[in-house]
């Protein structure tokens, strides 16, 4: 009798466990690299009409779009580390891209979800100088990875190269894992794309996507960096002076010959070199005639300095936006898979990117700076039956909030060590009276692109940035100066605001137990 009762009890527990797993939401985290808000049509802006992103927009339409979403450190690896740990860079130990590997012994949300019965997987760009831990399955790009015919590192340690385009292959692999996963478990899948990271190389099918369109220029394309720290003018991320002719602009060295083009030509064309002969034919059919026409005009002296910058901008932005098109198609494929397999209603879908990106604003490409285009990161999320469709939360959020959000979605407690806050109450439309009114930023890289280490605080209206190298503050009024063209730190009318923000900056550094500048922020040059 005891044996019979024991069996019944075990069967009850098993059935309850399976039922609990079936009702716990799946979490699909769709992630890209360097996707600027202005290149997502749901966020509005001047590119909305010329470069729509209908599938990402669908998530926002059927769920929530966060208008004040920020990274903690605007650089690829550190952003990923903050997402996994729910902590700022100085706490999770991954401050820079090029230093020590991510410490896999520490707590991560993947380990936690795996331990509570979730099937876990990560596919695509990892960029943490280590192999993933806490995932039942992983297949990752080595380092930055390649756009064309990319290699993937397998769980076995073997590296396998696949013919095709990285965004498409990453999506294929994510869907393959969904097909093969344990259907009795809820899943946590991180589908992480290389795109649209530099070298901004589109799928061959999208090379001519913006051929007949003149993309609007940003108003600050010819920023002279006046009225702010002199450190801005020392940067090395300008379309004008630093965009590489082969690597970025897509001119092959054999096309250029001895033409004295101003600016760097260091990196060659590695993406082109990885192509098959058939792929090269498609590439050359698109770029070669345009390159020849440009070089003829340049050699004939027909292009002024400003003409040259404008030509580079059009080449850059069209390639960037064409690269985004494949990412948006990937999002559409993933959403369709959920619908076709009866998973849409019980799956939380998030689209985000590791940080924003400069699309010619201030004359720049790349990221790193605490200025809005780089600091802001997209965050749109759909949770059927929970999020009111079309929600537009104004709360200040950061990528340190993702891990605790995933935990609460899964019904799990949030460890005290996590520095972020769960977004679930906001997703549910609840009023959170004690939600943060400011966010903290820290950039630790050692002078790459000659962007200095800097730290800061942002509220809904103001932003304060500190540069240890020059012991200097810059203060911006984001309402009166949304493009951040003039620091008002010396304006007497902002004296009280400066005092308040410096106090808030100190408070956040104490709250997050930030290190001294000497410990983790030596001078970059």
For the chain, which residues make up each domain, given as ranges? Answer: 205-316, 441-520
Pairing of strands 69-70, 159-161: unpaired
Neighbours of 378 (CB within 10 A): 24
Question: How buried is 519 (Cβ within 10 angstroms: 0-12 exposed, 13-18 middle, 19+ buried)?
Answer: exposed
Q: Work out the pLDDT band at 447, boundaries 50, 70, 90.
A: confident
Tokens of 254: 């054999």
41 touches 327 (CB < 8 A): no
Residue 1 has pLDDT above 80, yes or no: no
Q: 496: part of which helix (H) or strand (E)?
A: helix 495-511
Residue 22 has pLDDT above 70, yes or no: no
Q: Work out the pLDDT band at 521, boundaries 50, 70, 90.
A: low
Is the link from the previous residue into 196 a cis peptide, with omega within 30 of 0? yes
Of all residues in the chain, what percent carry a pLDDT higher than 70? 95
Residue 325 has pLDDT above 60, yes or no: yes
Average pLDDT, the chain: 94
Residue corresponding to tokens 């936006």: 321
Neighbours of 481 (CB within 10 A): 14
Q: What is the CATH number of domain 441-520?
A: 3.30.1120.10
List of residues 6+ apart from 180 with CB closer than 8 A? none
Residue 161 has pLDDT above 80, yes or no: yes
What pLDDT shows up at residue 517? 92
Angle of CA points 316, 322, 326, to nearest 5°? 140
139 touches 155 (CB < 8 A): yes
Tokens of 248: 């970025």
List of residues 6+ apart from 354 with CB closer than 8 A? 31, 32, 33, 34, 71, 76, 79, 80, 377, 399
Residue 16 has pLDDT above 70, yes or no: no
Neighbours of 454 (CB within 10 A): 24
Backbone angles phi, psi at 187, to 5 degrees: -120, 155
Q: What is the mean predicted confidence (pLDDT) over 138-153?
A: 97
Q: Work out the pLDDT band at 12, boundaries 50, 70, 90.
A: very low
CA 6 – CA 515 distance, rounded (Å): 55
20 touches 190 (CB < 8 A): no
Q: Which residues pair with 462 in a beta bridge?
A: 477
Tokens of 462: 């103001």
Instruction: Round to the nearest angstrom and report the end-to-end CA distance of the chain.
Output: 78
Question: How buried is 173 (Cβ within 10 angstroms: 0-12 exposed, 13-18 middle, 19+ buried)?
Answer: buried
Q: pLDDT tens digits, residue range 381-399? A: 999 999 999 999 999 999 9
Q: pLDDT tens digits, residue range 46-75? A: 999 999 999 999 999 999 999 999 999 999
Residue 360 has pLDDT above 80, yes or no: yes
Residue 466 has pLDDT above 90, yes or no: yes
Ramachandran region of residue 257, left (φ > 0), alpha (ψ -120 to 50) or beta?
Answer: left
Which string of DSSP letters, residue by residue, matches 385-441? Answer: TTSPTTB-----EEGGGHHHHHHHHTT-PPPTT--S---HHHHTT---TT--S-EEE
């Amino acid at each position: 009798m005891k044996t019979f009762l024991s069996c019944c009890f075990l069967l009850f527990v098993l059935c309850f466990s399976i039922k609990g797993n079936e009702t716990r939401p799946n979490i699909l985290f769709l992630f890209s690299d360097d996707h600027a808000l202005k290149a997502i049509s749901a966020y509005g802006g001047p590119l909305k009409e010329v470069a729509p992103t209908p599938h990402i927009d669908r998530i926002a339409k059927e769920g929530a779009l966060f208008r004040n979403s920020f990274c903690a450190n605007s650089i690829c690896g550190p952003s990923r580390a903050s997402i996994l740990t729910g902590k700022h860079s100085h706490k999770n130990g991954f401050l820079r891209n090029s230093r020590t590997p991510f410490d896999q012994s520490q707590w991560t949300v993947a380990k936690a979800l795996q331990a509570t019965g979730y099937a876990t997987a990560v596919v695509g760009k990892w960029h943490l100088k280590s192999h993933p831990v806490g995932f039942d399955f992983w297949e990752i790009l080595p380092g930055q990875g390649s756009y064309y015919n990319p290699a993937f590192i397998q769980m076995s340690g073997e590296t396998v190269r696949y013919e095709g385009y990285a965004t498409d292959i990453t999506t294929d692999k994510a869907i393959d894992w969904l097909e093969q996963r344990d259907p009795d478990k809820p899943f946590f899948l991180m589908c992480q794309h290389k795109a649209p990271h530099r070298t901004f190389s589109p799928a061959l099918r999208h090379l001519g996507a913006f051929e007949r369109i003149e993309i609007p220029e940003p108003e600050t394309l010819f920023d002279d960096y006046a009225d702010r720290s002199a450190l801005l003018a020392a940067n090395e991320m300008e379309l004008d002076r630093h965009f590489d002719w082969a690597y970025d602009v897509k001119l092959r060295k054999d096309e250029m010959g001895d033409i004295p083009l101003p600016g760097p030509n260091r990196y060659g064309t590695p993406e082109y070199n990885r192509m098959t002969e058939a792929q090269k034919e498609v590439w050359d059919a698109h770029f070669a005639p345009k390159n020849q026409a440009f070089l003829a005009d340049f050699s004939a002296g027909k292009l002024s300095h400003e003409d040259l910058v404008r030509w580079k901008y059009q080449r850059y932005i069209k390639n960037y936006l064409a690269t985004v098109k494949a990412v948006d198609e990937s999002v559409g494929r993933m959403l369709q898979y959920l619908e076709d397999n009866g998973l849409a209603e019980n799956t939380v879908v998030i689209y985000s990117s590791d940080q924003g990106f400069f699309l010619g604003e201030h004359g720049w490409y790349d990221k790193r700076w605490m200025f809005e285009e780089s600091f802001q990161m997209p965050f749109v999320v759909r949770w059927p039956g929970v999020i009111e469709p079309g929600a537009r939360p104004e709360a200040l959020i950061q990528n340190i909030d993702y891990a605790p959000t995933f935990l609460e979605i899964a019904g799990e407690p949030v460890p005290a060590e996590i520095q972020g806050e769960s977004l679930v109450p906001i997703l549910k439309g609840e009023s959170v009276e004690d939600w943060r009114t400011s966010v903290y930023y820290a950039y630790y890289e050692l002078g790459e692109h000659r962007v200095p280490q800097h730290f800061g605080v942002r509220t809904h209206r103001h932003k304060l940035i500190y540069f240890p190298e020059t012991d200097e503050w810059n203060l911006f009024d984001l309402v009166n100066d949304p493009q951040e063209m003039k620091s008002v730190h010396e304006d007497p009318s902002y004296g009280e605001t400066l005092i308040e923000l410096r106090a808030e900056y100190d408070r956040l550094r104490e709250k997050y137990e930030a290190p001294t500048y000497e410990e983790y922020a030596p001078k970059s040059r």
